[in-house]
């Protein structure tokens, strides 16, 4: 039966290698994963020498260091020859192919990277091979550079979770901890598939909120534009006409004329006032006390706070269920979830909740006094703790509040447009009323004379 040499990481993150007997390479990978190892490279025993595997690229022994140094010298000589050749042609390789610096990527790109890596690992490839394939397969320069960096870190002896810490704006603490849990349990491909589903769920939640606010925002902008057109085109023409007649203007018409004079003569002061108010508001909410007060106000706004609330409930439950299902401890999961609401008021409540759990309280018992979760949420959480099916219960809670979020999105998207239209109609109605009243008074005066 064929034998295969493997390089993998154990649950403590240490590199291990050995020889395993299997019918074929996929079966060898499966046997390594059964040992709770994360496969990095697996080759046939009569295949490439160990010197070609990532083990020899690691600074484990003095001989390995010597081979690594020799390889670096050879690479440097090749690079020097390449640079000299490029110089003869009047160009340099760095100028032709400048390096791509990766700091952030879009949510869709992160989803694509996670999905592709999960597919390759599930198909039986090792982590080393999967990242190598992504370097060649991915077309986006940022994703290709990200894959190359992670692959090189892997060859340098670091784990995938350690390499991801170099990109904090791409892989947050929650993401890195789940990858670390997958490496420790030998189920990295399973974790990546679950992360892919999680990223898709989060994107769906964000899209729902954006769609709910997009149409009302368009109506507000259109209404303001329409009012400005009325005030800057029609009212000035009528103003000059009424001044020529020397007639007494009604109070509403005089108010419109004064508003138009203020808008045309002191627009710069109004613009400065708006900018100053924005600056003062940002300065106020940048302080800890101001930020807490503003976030508390946003959390308690009637009707309109329901969307961010239900989004928080769904995301909290989904994330907590995913983390605990994949071996992350409850205390560590709660620590990672403190910033999930992006709300300082809620974050402080989460800190208090975690402190209560540390003191020995159950999660449902600690959540009830914080008054940030609905009673049904706390009751379902308690049932999950009592039945021993906590992760499944949290995922069920996430499904419930995602449906509730859909309902709230529909309510808000249905409620806001009529409200905006009523305000716009009221303002335009006042303008038209002021004009018509002045015209009627003028014609009445003419008939009297």
* pLDDT of 99: 53
Q: Is the pLDDT of residue 327 over 90?
A: no
In this structure, the answer to whether residues 274 and 180 fall within a common structural domain is no
Structural domain of 390: 205-449
Confidence of residue 225 (pLDDT cuts 50, 70, 90): confident
Q: What is the pLDDT of residues 194-204, one digit of tens each?
A: 788 878 877 77
In this structure, the answer to whether residues 41 and 173 fall within a common structural domain is no
Q: Give the pair of three-digit tokens for residue 274.
A: 């708006």
In this structure, the answer to whether residues 167 and 210 fall within a common structural domain is no
In this structure, the answer to whether residues 220 and 182 fall within a common structural domain is no
Average pLDDT of span 115-134:
86
Half-sphere exposure of 322 (CA within 13 A, CB side): 28
Q: What is the CATH number for 365?
A: 1.20.81.30
Structural domain contains residue 78:
no
Q: Is the pLDDT of residue 168 over 80?
A: yes
Q: What is the pLDDT of residues 247-285, one digit of tens each?
A: 677 777 778 777 777 777 787 888 899 999 999 999 988
Structural domain contains residue 36:
yes
* pLDDT of 360: 87
Structural domain contains residue 88:
no
Structural domain contains residue 83:
no
Structural domain contains residue 82:
no
In this structure, the answer to whether residues 306 and 422 fall within a common structural domain is yes
Is this model's pTM higher than 0.85 or not? no
Structural domain contains residue 113:
yes
Q: What is the pLDDT of residues 366-386, one digit of tens each?
A: 998 988 899 999 999 999 999
Structural domain contains residue 375:
yes
- When the pLDDT of each residue in the chain is averaged and rounded to a whole number, the result is 77
Q: Is the pLDDT of residue 243 over 70?
A: no
Beta pairing partners, 359: none
Q: What is the pLDDT of residues 275-322, one digit of tens each?
A: 999 999 999 888 889 999 999 998 988 877 888 888 889 888 888 887
In this structure, the answer to whether residues 231 and 372 fall within a common structural domain is yes
Least confident of 142-151, 205-214, 360-369, 387-396: 205-214
In this structure, the answer to whether residues 250 and 184 fall within a common structural domain is no
Domain boundary among 199, 217, 250: 199
In this structure, the answer to whether residues 10 and 156 fall within a common structural domain is no
Structural domain contains residue 176:
yes
Average pLDDT of span 385-402:
89
In this structure, the answer to whether residues 260 and 397 fall within a common structural domain is yes
In this structure, the answer to whether residues 32 and 60 fall within a common structural domain is yes
Q: What is the pLDDT of residues 51-94, one digit of tens each?
A: 333 333 333 333 343 334 333 434 444 344 434 444 444 444 33
């Amino acid at each position: 039966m064929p034998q295969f040499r493997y390089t993998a990481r154990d649950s403590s993150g240490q590199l291990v290698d050995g020889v395993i007997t299997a019918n074929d390479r996929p079966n060898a990978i499966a046997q390594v994963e059964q040992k709770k190892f994360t496969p990095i490279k697996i080759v046939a025993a009569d295949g490439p020498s160990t010197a070609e595997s990532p083990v020899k690229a690691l600074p484990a022994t003095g001989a390995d260091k010597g081979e690594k140094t020799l390889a670096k010298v050879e690479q440097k000589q090749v690079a020097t020859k390449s640079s000299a050749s490029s110089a003869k042609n009047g160009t340099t390789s760095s100028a032709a192919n400048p390096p791509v610096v990766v700091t952030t990527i879009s949510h869709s790109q992160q989803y694509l990277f996670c999905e592709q890596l999960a597919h390759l690992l599930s198909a039986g490839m090792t982590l080393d091979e999967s990242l190598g394939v992504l370097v060649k397969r991915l077309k986006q320069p940022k994703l290709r550079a990200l894959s190359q960096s992670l692959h090189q870190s892997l060859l340098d002896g670091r784990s995938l979770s350690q390499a991801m810490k170099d990109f904090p704006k791409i892989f947050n603490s929650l993401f890195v901890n789940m990858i670390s849990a997958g490496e420790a349990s030998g189920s990295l491909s399973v974790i990546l598939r679950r992360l892919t589903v999680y990223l898709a769920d989060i994107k769906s939640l964000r899209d729902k909120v954006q769609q709910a606010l997009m149409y009302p925002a368009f109506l507000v902008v259109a209404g303001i534009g329409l009012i400005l057109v009325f005030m800057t085109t029609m009212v000035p023409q009528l103003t000059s006409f009424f001044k020529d007649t020397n007639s007494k203007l009604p109070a509403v018409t005089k108010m419109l004329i004064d508003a138009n004079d203020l808008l045309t003569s002191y627009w710069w002061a109004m613009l400065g006032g708006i900018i100053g108010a924005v600056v003062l508001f940002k300065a106020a909410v940048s302080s800890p006390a101001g930020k807490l007060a503003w976030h508390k106000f946003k959390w308690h706004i009637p009707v309109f706070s329901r969307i961010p609330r239900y989004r928080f409930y769904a995301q909290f439950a989904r994330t907590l269920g995913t983390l605990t299902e994949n071996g992350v401890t409850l205390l560590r999961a709660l620590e990672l979830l403190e910033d999930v609401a992006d709300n300082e008021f809620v974050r402080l409540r989460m800190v208090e909740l975690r402190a209560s759990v540390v003191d020995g309280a159950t999660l449902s018992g600690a959540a009830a006094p914080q008054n940030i979760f609905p009673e049904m949420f706390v009751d379902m959480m308690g049932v999950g703790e009592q039945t021993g099916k906590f992760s499944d219960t949290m995922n069920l809670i996430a499904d419930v509040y995602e449906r509730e979020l859909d309902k709230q999105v529909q309510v808000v998207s249905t409620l806001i447009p009529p409200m905006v239209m009523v305000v716009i109609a009221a303002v335009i109605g006042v303008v038209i009323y002021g004009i018509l009243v002045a015209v009627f008074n003028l014609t009445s005066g003419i008939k009297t004379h």
